[in-house]
């Protein structure tokens, strides 16, 4: 089981959305981390055969996925960032339709729909119309449709965007349950999503994979270290201007700062263990953030 | 897949409204088409099934071959009515009594007005009143001679000699005497058929325009195109859904309309030549009434099929239902603007535009003829063939566009 991406490039007129990306993925959960506009969605759309690359190749088990055509899509499950649906279809109708276009026989489709609704916690709601579902429920239907054909490759583009913290935890657990014996590629700009479930992380910036590895490997290879310190309130601006600041917290005797620096910023600053969030800031700088957290 | 594609179409709230509008328009059209009156011997206008039965009985009395003797009888009967005191009277009721006596041969009287008018393009309502019985024998000869006069006069520059000879030969080839029968059912059916076909087309245009673009407006395109059948059978199912919609809705609508009108007014006269009809007198198509009905039905179907497939093509190409839904309007109304261009070729072009398929009854009355490889052909078979072929060609083209769609 290997999905290989070699020198993959996608240009839209003068914009290069994906630039010479190469990576190999086998069974496991891969987190594709990057700020908005980093090229994650374009990369995923090419991996799903929705977009043809300008250059480079994508192969599954050594065979070009575009040449495989239907055979590749048969083993693919995809949950897009903007998950669209037919508003007046019931959940059951929607899943049965997707099952039919995924090539499942009606009997198998019915059985699989029942199993997946149970898995995503929507059993008993089959007749509910799609347009009446909450954001979290829609996402759960989204993952169910992606899983209908029991795919070997599951691609999830920002699956937790717009979900509340409870729904997000539930979703992460669900993905972990599904991870066995398949390749899951999860794109997000929310660090905590991948921190818990991804076995390998790909950091994407300006259309390129700028770093990859396990969380520990990436943290170990971080070019900067993490420091915490307490400073006077009027010094805060100086530190924010000169260092990548992970966190600012008001304290009784000043302001507590957590920042990144190759050198100890002040004699009394303490070195801290780095987290994935620190890593994210290290690579993506001011653009990084967990606005949805 | 096909079932779900149809479900997608009908699950849109607008579709239910569109189907409701179609039902109302068909209902209203049927009401107008079946609104026939009969004037009883007392001069009282009657409507309803009994009026239809009475009118049918009166006209049936004149059924049979329209030979010189029958035409002479009509001319004389008409003269008798015109000279009656009731007809001469100023009293409206008295005049209605006079009218009631001529209802049985009213259609034949119209044919006399056509045949004995001053010119080919003229119609003189009072012409029959001036005829004498012995003029009846000139009836069929007048039809041909008026055509010849027109071709050598007013239409001299419009047609080549070969085309003129073609028209005259068609006129001369028709079997005479014509067989006449009560045919109000067919007359009314043909009168309102273009309205029914056009409304059906507009509704179909609305319904099919979202079949391909819907995936984009619902943002379900990514899931659709990443599925196993997304770029093959599921795309084909969309075309299949379009075909089912056009075939189902068009045929059901036309059959309901036909059944209501003919069951109410009667289907007598189906084997008569179309020249018996008021609108068919000048036609150079030597066909019978049931054949005209089949042409109208086939023309409407091919017109709806072509236009709907064109809507689907535009919808797939532009990913927009809004642009696609305008196609039927453009195809129906553009010819009205082109009519005003004073160029000789415009008429020829207009005769081959797809809107003609929606009004095949009118096409049969036009003198449109085309030369294909030296062979002259009338417009009707060209229209049916060309647009059927174009409709068929649009299917793989649309499939190809949609199948290779990129989702950025």
For A187, the token pair is 């794109």
Contact B222 A74 (CB under 8 A): no
DSSP letters spanning B163-199:
HHHHHHHHHHHS-SSPEE---HHHHHHHHHHHHHHHH
For B22, the token pair is 């179609």
Residues A77-89: tens digit of each pLDDT = 999 988 888 999 9
Q: Is the pLDDT of residue B225 over 80?
A: yes
Model confidence at A288, pLDDT cuts 50, 70, 90, reads: low
A35-44, A45-54, A186-195, B346-355 — most confident range: A45-54
- Report the mean per-residue pLDDT for chain B: 91
Please give the residue of chain A at the shortest CA–CA distance from B8.
A86
- Higher pLDDT residue, A275 or B302? B302
Could you tell me if B278 lies within 8 Å of chain A, comparing CB atoms? no
- Higher pLDDT residue, A59 or B176? A59
Phi-psi region of B407 (alpha: psi -120 to 50; beta: other; left: phi over 0): beta
- Higher pLDDT residue, A58 or A251? A58
Q: Is the pLDDT of residue A287 over 60?
A: no
- Higher pLDDT residue, A193 or B51? B51
Strands (DSSP E) contained in B212-344 are none
Model confidence at B189, pLDDT cuts 50, 70, 90, reads: very high
Please give the residue of chain B at the shortest CA–CA distance from A52.
B406
Distance from CA of B237 to the nearest CA of A (A): 10
Task: Report, as an integer, the average pLDDT of A14-34.
Answer: 91
- β-bridge mates for residue A211, sequence order: A203
- Give the list of residues 6+ apart from residue B149 with CB closer than 8 angstroms, or none: B119, B120
Distance from CA of A128 to the nearest CA of B (A): 14
Supply the pLDDT for residue B245: 95
Dist. CA B346–CA B20, nearest whole Å: 38
In degrees rounded to 5, what are phi and psi of residue B47? -130, 165
Residues B300-332: tens digit of each pLDDT = 999 999 999 999 999 999 999 999 999 989 888
Question: Which residues of A fall within a CB distance of 8 Å from B225?
Answer: 49-50
- Higher pLDDT residue, A164 or B102? B102
Top residue of A101, A103, A132, A159 to mutate, by most chain B CBs within 10 Å, is A101
Task: Report, as an integer, the average pLDDT of A100-109.
Answer: 94
Supply the pLDDT for residue A286: 59
Q: Is the pLDDT of residue A44 over 90?
A: yes
Task: Report, as an integer, the average pLDDT of B263-287.
Answer: 92
| Cα four-point dihedral sign B234, A108, A30, A6 | negative
B339-345 contacts at long range (C-beta below 8 A, 24 or more positions apart): B344/B157, B344/B158
Supply the pLDDT for residue B344: 67
Q: Is the peptide bond preceding residue B27 cis, with omega within 30 degrees of 0?
A: no
Task: Report, as an integer, the average pLDDT of B215-236.
Answer: 92
Q: Which of the 8 DSSP states describes residue B288? A: B
Exposed (0-12), middle (13-18) or buried (19+): which is B140, by Cβ within 10 Å?
buried
Give the Cα-Cα-Cα angle B97, B102, B104 (nearest 5 degrees): 125
Q: Return the domain boundaries, chain B.
A: 2-33+182-403, 37-180
Dist. CA A72–CA A81, nearest whole Å: 21
DSSP letters spanning chain A:
--EEEEEEEEEETTEEEEEEEEEEE-SEEEEEE--TTSSHHHHHHHHTTSS--SEEEEEETTEEHHHHTHHHHTTEEEE-SS----TTSBHHHHHHHHHHHTT--HHHHHHHHHHHHHHTT-TT-TTSBGGGS-HHHHHHHHHHHHHTT--SEEEEESTTTT--HHHHHHHHHHHHHHTTTSEEEEEES-HHHHHHH-SEEEEEETTEEEEEE-HHHHHHT-SSEEEEEEE-GGGHHHHHHHSEEEEEEEETTEEEEEEEESS-SSTT-EEE---HHHHHHHHHGGG---TT-
Question: Which residues of B fall within a CB distance of 8 Å from A42?
Answer: 408
| Closest to A275 (Cα-Cα) out of A231, A206, A230, A224 | A224
Dist. CA B6–CA B239, nearest whole Å: 11
Residues B135-148: tens digit of each pLDDT = 889 999 999 999 99
| Closest to B319 (Cα-Cα) out of B210, B225, B246 | B210
A112-117 contacts at long range (C-beta below 8 A, 24 or more positions apart): A112/A148, A112/A150, A113/A144, A113/A148, A116/A144, A116/A147, A116/A148, A117/A91, A117/A144
Contact A101 B222 (CB under 8 A): no
- Report the mean per-residue pLDDT for chain A: 87
- Higher pLDDT residue, B374 or B263? B263
Q: Is the pLDDT of residue A55 over 80?
A: yes
Q: How many residues does chain A have?
A: 293
Q: Is the pLDDT of residue A290 over 50?
A: no
- Check: CB of residue B144 under 8 Å from CB of residue B71: no
Q: Considering only residues 246 to 275 of chain B, which have any Cβ-Cβ distance to chain A shorter than 8 Å?
A: none
Q: Is the pLDDT of residue A291 over 50?
A: no
Supply the pLDDT for residue A14: 87
- β-bridge mates for residue A76, sequence order: A153
Question: Which residues of B fall within a CB distance of 8 Å from A149?
Answer: 228
Task: Report, as an integer, the average pLDDT of A36-52.
Answer: 91
Task: Report, as an integer, the average pLDDT of B99-114.
Answer: 92
Dist. CA B270–CA B116, nearest whole Å: 26
Dist. CA B235–CA A101, nearest whole Å: 10
Q: Is the pLDDT of residue A270 over 50?
A: yes
User: Tokens 């590749």, residue?
Assistant: A72
Percentage with pLDDT > 70 across chain B: 100
Nearest CB to A51 within list B228, B234, B407: B407
Model confidence at A293, pLDDT cuts 50, 70, 90, reads: very low
Supply the pLDDT for residue A289: 47
Please give the residue of chain A at the shortest CA–CA distance from B13.
A88
């Amino acid at each position: 089981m290997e999905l290989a991406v070699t020198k993959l490039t996608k240009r839209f007129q003068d914009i290069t959305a994906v630039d010479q990306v190469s990576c190999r993925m086998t069974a496991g959960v891969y987190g594709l981390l990057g700020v908005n506009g980093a090229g994650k969605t374009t990369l995923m759309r090419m991996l799903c055969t929705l977009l043809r690359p300008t250059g480079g190749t994508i192969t599954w088990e050594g065979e070009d996925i575009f040449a495989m055509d239907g055979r590749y899509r048969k083993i693919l499950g995809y949950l897009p960032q903007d998950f669209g649906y037919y508003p007046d279809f019931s959940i059951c109708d929607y899943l049965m339709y997707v099952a039919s276009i995924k090539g499942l026989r009606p009997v198998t489709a019915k059985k699989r729909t029942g199993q997946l609704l149970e898995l995503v916690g929507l059993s008993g709601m089959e007749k509910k119309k799609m347009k009446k579902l909450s954001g979290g429920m829609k996402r759960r239907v989204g993952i169910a449709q992606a899983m209908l054909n029991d795919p070997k490759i599951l691609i999830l583009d920002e699956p937790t965007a717009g979900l509340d913290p409870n729904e997000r935890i539930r979703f992460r657990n669900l993905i972990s349950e599904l991870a066995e014996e398949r390749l899951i590629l999860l794109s997000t700009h929310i660090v905590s999503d991948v921190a818990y479930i991804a076995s390998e992380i790909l950091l994407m910036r300006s259309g390129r994979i700028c770093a990859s590895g396990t969380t520990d490997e990436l943290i170990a290879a971080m070019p900067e270290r993490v420091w915490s310190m307490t400073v006077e309130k009027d010094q805060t601006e100086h530190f924010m201007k000169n260092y990548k600041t992970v966190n600012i917290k008001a304290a009784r005797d000043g302001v507590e700062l957590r920042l990144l620096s190759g050198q100890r910023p002040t004699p009394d600053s303490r070195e801290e263990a780095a987290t994935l969030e620190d890593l994210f800031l290290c690579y993506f700088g001011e653009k990084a953030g967990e606005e949805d957290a | 897949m096909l079932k779900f594609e149809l479900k997608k179409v009908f699950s849109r709230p607008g579709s239910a409204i569109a189907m409701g509008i179609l039902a109302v328009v068909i209902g209203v059209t049927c009401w107008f088409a079946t609104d026939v009156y009969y004037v009883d011997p007392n001069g009282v206008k009657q409507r309803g099934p009994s009026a239809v039965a009475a009118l049918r009985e009166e006209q049936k009395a004149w059924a049979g071959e329209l030979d010189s003797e029958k035409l002479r009888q009509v001319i004389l009967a008409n003269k008798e009515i015109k000279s009656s005191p009731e007809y001469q009277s100023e009293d409206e009721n008295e005049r209605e009594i006079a009218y009631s006596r001529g209802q049985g041969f009213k259609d034949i009287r119209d044919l006399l007005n056509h045949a004995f008018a001053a010119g080919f393009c003229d119609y003189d309502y009072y012409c029959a009143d001036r005829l004498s019985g012995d003029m009846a024998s000139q009836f069929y000869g007048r039809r041909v001679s008026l055509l010849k006069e027109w071709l050598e006069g007013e239409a001299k520059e419009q047609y080549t000699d070969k085309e003129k000879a073609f028209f005259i030969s068609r006129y001369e080839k028709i079997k005479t005497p014509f067989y006449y029968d009560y045919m109000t059912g067919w007359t009314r059916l043909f009168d309102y058929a273009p309205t029914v076909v056009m409304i059906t087309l507009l509704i179909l245009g609305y319904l099919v325009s979202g079949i391909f673009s819907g995936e984009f407006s619902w943002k379900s395109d990514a899931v659709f195109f990443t599925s196993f059948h997304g770029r093959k059978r599921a795309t084909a199912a969309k075309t299949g859904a379009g075909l089912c919609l056009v075939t189902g809705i068009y045929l059901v609508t036309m059959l309901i309309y036909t059944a209501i009108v003919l069951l109410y007014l009667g289907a007598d006269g189906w084997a008569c030549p179309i020249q018996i009809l008021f609108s068919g007198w000048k036609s150079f198509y030597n066909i019978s009434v049931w054949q005209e009905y089949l042409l109208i039905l086939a023309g409407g179907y091919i017109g709806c099929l072509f236009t709907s497939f064109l809507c689907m093509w535009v919808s797939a190409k532009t990913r927009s239902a809004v642009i696609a839904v305008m196609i039927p309007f453009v195809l129906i109304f553009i010819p009205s603007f082109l009519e005003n261009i004073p160029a000789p070729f415009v008429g020829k072009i207009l005769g081959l535009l797809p809107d003609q398929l929606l009004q095949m009854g009118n096409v049969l009355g036009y003198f449109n003829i085309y030369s294909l490889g030296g062979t002259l052909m009338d417009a009707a078979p060209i229209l049916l063939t060309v647009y059927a072929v174009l409709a068929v060609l649009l299917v793989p083209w649309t499939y190809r566009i949609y199948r290779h769609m990129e989702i950025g």
